[in-house]
Amino acid sequence: MLDDRFGPEFLEFHDIPKAGLRSIVARAGELAEAWDERAMPQNLAGKRVALIVDDGGWRNTTAFDLGIQAMGGICVHVPIGFNTREETGDLSGYLGNWFDMLVIRTKELATLKAVAAASPVPVINARTRSNHPCETLGDLAYIKSRRGSIDGLKVVGVAADANILRSWAEASIVLPIEVVQVYPERWHICDAALFNGRFRVSSDMGELSDADVVITDSSGDGPSDALASYRIGTDVLDRLREDAIFLPCPPVTRGQEVTAEAMEHPLCQSRAAKAFLLHAQNALMEWVAA
């Protein structure tokens, strides 16, 4: 019988209701303290988790592996790829025979949805080209640890249409935060499903003046005249609010979307924020397993 193993999915940020997201973000702060004290709760004891990396990367998948083990679970790296020899639905069924949860990093969100549709166990999105909900969840947990609340945030993403920015747009669907994409119009998000009363697009860098959080995303474009005025340097950061938080996307293409000097600016909290990727993912897995 598999009934007691069913649980929620986390494929897109808004898959989890507001109350659940609030509890996960708050729990991440508690787990951060437990991590520092080397006193992690063993709430994944007996849980068997498949970690599937079908699209490179290392940061959040390493954090998943470490977190699963630190909370008493069993993590197995499964060396499979999707859309190759075996049908996705078949793979989901086989994996469901052995595992209680699937954590998957793959290229296409559509593939992940196909896996989840056929899987008898919960599926967590560890990143796709379309979105990266765990990254946003970790950043929100860090922001809460700094500010005490995430309500009413104004988040400005100085970035082209890309997966981290999209996950912030997804977050605005369910959480009381305002998200603004600021970039030249040709790179604006056009996906109607992401637009809501709390997400909008602009080309005006003046939107940064009252931002609580400024994010970037990795640029696939080289330096150009069109993008030069959207590059984040110390001159831009110096004009932000004193309590603003700057979270450039790792990996940062220095000299393109962010200057090297901006990475050393006091408002740049990338390294500290990414510590919460581990804690937020641990809180997410606890919530899913429960």
For residues 95 and 50, give the distance between their C-alpha atoms in angstroms, rounded to a whole number: 8
Domains of the chain (ranges; CATH) run 3-132+275-289 (3.40.50.1370), 135-270 (3.40.50.1370)
| Helix residue ranges per DSSP H, 37-132 | 59-70, 88-98, 109-118
The residue to which tokens 């999105």 are assigned: 125
What is the distance of C-alpha 287 from the center of its chain?
Answer: 16
For residues 266 and 268, give the distance between their C-alpha atoms in angstroms, rounded to a whole number: 5
Instruction: Determine contact, residues 274/240, Cβ cutoff 8 Å.
Output: no
Name beta bridge partners: 182.
202
For residues 155 and 180, give the distance between their C-alpha atoms in angstroms, rounded to a whole number: 6
107, 154, 187, 202 from 184: Cα distances, Å: 26, 20, 6, 8
Render pLDDT for 155-170 as a digit per residue (tens, 0 to 9): 999 999 999 999 999 9
- The two three-digit tokens of residue 214, written as one number: 């400024």
3-state secondary structure of 256: coil
Instruction: Determine contact, residues 167/55, Cβ cutoff 8 Å.
Output: no
Render pLDDT for 69-105 as a digit per residue (tens, 0 to 9): 999 999 999 998 887 778 888 899 999 999 999 999 9
Render pLDDT for 131-146 as a digit per residue (tens, 0 to 9): 999 999 999 999 999 9
Q: Is the dihedral of CA 101, 107, 110, 114 positive or negative?
A: negative
- The two three-digit tokens of residue 287, written as one number: 């919530």
Q: Which residues of the chain have pLDDT under 70?
A: 1-7, 219-225, 251-255
